[in-house]
Each structure stands twice: as C-alpha cells, then as structure tokens.
Amino acid sequence: MTATSRSTHAAVLTALTVAATGHVTPAASAPRHSPTQATAAAQDFKPQVAALLKAIETGEGGPVAVINPSKYIQHNLAVADGLAGFGAVLQALPKGSARANTVRVFQDGNFVFAHTEYNFFGPKIGFDIFRFEDGKIVEHWDNLQVTPTSANPSGHTMTDGSTQVQNLNQTSQNKALVGAFVDDILVNGRMDKLSRYIDGENYRQHNPQIADGLSGLGAALQAMAKAGVTMKYSQVHKVLGEGNFVLTVSEGEFAGRHTAFYDLFRVEGGKLVEHWDTVETIPAKSEWKNANGKFGF
C-alpha cells in the first residue's frame, strides 16, 4: 500500500470517527419518514452516492459527510448500526484491497439505488439502496453476491449491458409493470402469463447461470428442477424505478435457505428486455450485528 493510499484510507476513517461521536438514534425509535421527503425528488443525490461508494476504495474523507452522523440505520446484517459500524468494517479490510466501481446509479424520490462491482473481502457484485432525509443519508440496504469467474451461457457478465436512463415520464407505469411481473411470475408462479411481460428471445439475461431469452430461462428452471433446487419468492418488499430501469427487493427461499433477491429490469416498449440480479442468503438472527432486519422499508 502506498503512502498516498494509507493517508486517504486514514482520512475516511478519521471522518467516520469524528462524525460518529454524536449519538446514533436507535433504529426502533427513528422516524421512518421526513416532512421534507416530498421534495426529495427535486434534488439529485446520485453524485453523492457514487462518491461515497468510491470513497470505500480511495479512502477520501469528504464524501462521508453525506451520512447523517446521528442517524444511520443499517440493514446489512453483517455490519453494526450507525457510522461506527461502517467505520469498523473499513478498518477490518485488508490494506489497499478495497475496490468500488459503480456501473449504474438511479434515484426514485428520496431513495438512491446503485449497482456496483466491489472487491470487499473478495470480489462481489452489489446493489445498494440509500434513503435520504433532509439532504443526508439516514438508512442503507444492500444485497451482495460473489462475482463469478466467467460470463454466463450467453456471454454476459453480472454488470455489463445498458446503463442509459430513458423515458422518465414512464417511471410509474414501468414500476407497475415490473411489480406485476414479480407478483404474477416469481411469487405466484403464473407461468401462463409470462409472454405478457417478456418478448420471447429479445430478453438479455445477466444472471450468471441463465442464458438469454425465454428459452434460456426455461432451460435454467428445468435444470434446477432436475437437480432438486427450489426457488420461491414469498414477498416483494420494495419497487424502485427511474425511467426504464426498475429494481425490486424480494424475500423468499433458494435451495432451502432464507434469501434476499434484488432484481433490476430494463423496460422497453412495455416489455421486460434486460435483467440483472443478486441473490444473498439471509443469516440466522443469532448472527446479526444489528436488529434492523434485511428489509424494513
């Protein structure tokens, strides 16, 4: 690790330590909504989130100021609540190992959600969601999956593909479309309705195990069934969107394990045309480092 990287890493830890000296409001007593939430959409918080995530790699202290030092509710169950918990994780990282390349970042009202390539205790792909209140981050959710060593059967990675936000005036209808798809297909298994949502082979897939198109999805489901691997979505906790991109946060089971599913879809012409996801096992409650739960929207 160079002298520069040592000093920048120290800077972010110092910023966290100073900020965390205030009282951290317990999650149970923290107000869930701010009176200023309705005006949050008029402010662009995406650059601040991108800078904060990059600071994990660079150690720059300035971007940390976007986090409210007296109220930071953490839903990553491996991290303790508040800025102190965030700082402890950074301190535990092997020196010079962290990498953060944010590929996509979107905003829906007072929520900003990002899609990032990490090296964070090993290479991972992550979705992060931040909630803003009065211009500061007060809550964080994420879902992380180990980065595969090769592309999927169609040659796609977990992060490549379209990034350009379009059709901002269609955000609400796109969120409704994706929400209906997840409820119909993934939660309730109404496979006869699949063609309403996906345009045959014009569906680009970034899941590391699945090929493009309905044929790729069908082949993957068939292979899972043959192997005795079950996947069940039981509840959709949140639907966020900006223009043609929509993220859903769901809970269920995968291979018999309690699981969080984050699915990002791109919509075009009233159909789902591209999909990215991360799948993360939810640990037993005895292993949690905070009491906020994985969801809690």
Q: Residue 27 has what pLDDT?
A: 35
What's the CA gap between 154 and 282, in Å, rounded? 29
Mean pLDDT, residues 263-277: 97
Q: Which regions of the chain does DSSP assign to beta strands (E)?
A: 73-74, 99-108, 111-119, 123-133, 136-146, 204-205, 231-242, 245-254, 257-268, 271-281
What's the CA gap between 169 and 186, in Å, rounded? 27
- Structure tokens given for 64: 């940390």
Q: Residue 59 has what pLDDT?
A: 86
- SS3 of 194, please? helix
- Structure tokens given for 117: 């390539």
- Structure tokens given for 247: 């993220």
Q: The tokens 């309730």 sit on which residue?
A: 188
Amino acid at 257: R
Q: Which residues pair with 137 in a beta bridge?
A: 67, 132
Tens digit of each residue's pLDDT (9 = 90 or more) over 139-152: 999 999 999 999 99
The reported pTM is 0.87
Tens digit of each residue's pLDDT (9 = 90 or more) over 163-207: 999 999 999 999 999 999 999 999 998 989 988 999 888 999 999
Q: Residue 42 has what pLDDT?
A: 67
Lowest mean pLDDT among 18-22, 70-74, 119-123, 164-168: 18-22
Cβ atoms of 37 and 83 within 8 Å: the answer is: no
- Structural domains in the chain, CATH included, are 3-29+36-147 (3.10.450.50), 168-281 (3.10.450.50)
Cβ atoms of 143 and 129 within 8 Å: the answer is: no
Q: Residue 94 has what pLDDT?
A: 85
Looking at the chain, list the stretches that DSSP marks H as alpha helix, in order from N- to C-terminal side. Answer: 3-19, 46-58, 82-92, 171-181, 194-197, 213-226
Tens digit of each residue's pLDDT (9 = 90 or more) over 70-104: 999 999 999 999 999 988 988 888 888 999 999 99
Confidence band, pLDDT 50/70/90 cuts, at residue 5: very low
Q: Residue 37 has what pLDDT?
A: 44
Q: Please state the separation of Cα 44 from the chain's center in Å.
A: 18
Rg, the chain, Cα only: 19
Q: Please state the separation of Cα 159 from the chain's center in Å.
A: 12
**Mean pLDDT across the chain:** 87
230 vs 65, 147, 220, 225, CA distance in Å?
A: 43, 22, 12, 7
- SS3 of 258, please? strand
